[in-house]
Amino acid sequence: EKELHAAAKFLHAKRCDALEHKDTQDGWHEWEAECVSAIVQEKMKEFKPDLVLTFDEGGVSGHPNHIGVAKGVKHWYEKRLSGRERASVDVYRLDTTGLMRKYIGLFDLPLSLASKHVAVQFSPFMAINGMMCHWSQFVWYRWLFVIFSRYVYVNTYTQLEKLP
């Protein structure tokens, strides 16, 4: 939890809450979409954001927790829309790419520019400093990730469709 708060401070987040829920413990299992959806609904009422960034259903790295979050947020969003509730929040999902594109770093930029929603960072130092906040997670292969991954330099997002 201390690492999470350190990362939030580094990113200048106004608020950071660590979620402790029995059904969303870290591990190599997918969280239930209905459970994640209920948690998202609760947090949406509390925070009232106008933007949500989440994973797509590939979970970027295929991690089951990431996939569970993606499905849970989508479930929450579609539930709101099926109730004909106007979506007052924009939801963007981080696009998962194939292995080749994932590790070509900034060279992925020309391919990514075809996307509607692109975020670019030309230096890996912000990612390195951010990972320093999560020191227990910064194992040797994450150094390679920070140097070679396109997600350090280029991120593309797909917006979930809104009601007309």
Say how many Å lie between the first and final Cα of the chain, rounded. 40
**Amino acid 39: pLDDT:** 96
- The total of other beta-carbon atoms located within 10 Å of residue 69's CB is 22
Residue pLDDT, tens place only, 96-105: 999 999 999 9
Phi, psi of 19, deg, nearest 5 = -95, 120
Angle at CA of residue 60, ends 154 and 142, nearest 5°: 75
The residues facing 91 across adjacent strands are: 52
Strand, helix or coil at 102?
A: helix
Q: What percent of the chain has pLDDT over 70?
A: 96
Question: What is the pLDDT confidence band of residue 134, given thresholds at 50, 70 and 90?
Answer: confident
Which of 151, 152, 142, 161 is CA-nearest to residue 97?
A: 151
**Amino acid 86: pLDDT:** 62
**Amino acid 18: pLDDT:** 85
**Amino acid 57: pLDDT:** 97
Q: What is the DSSP letter of 21?
A: -
Residue pLDDT, tens place only, 58-88: 999 999 999 999 999 999 998 887 776 666 7
Element (H, E) at 52: strand 51-55
Phi, psi of 28, deg, nearest 5 = -95, 60
Half-sphere exposure of residue 148, counting CA atoms within 13 Å on the CB side? 11
* Candidate from 15-19, 78-82, 118-122, 130-134 with smallest mean pLDDT: 78-82
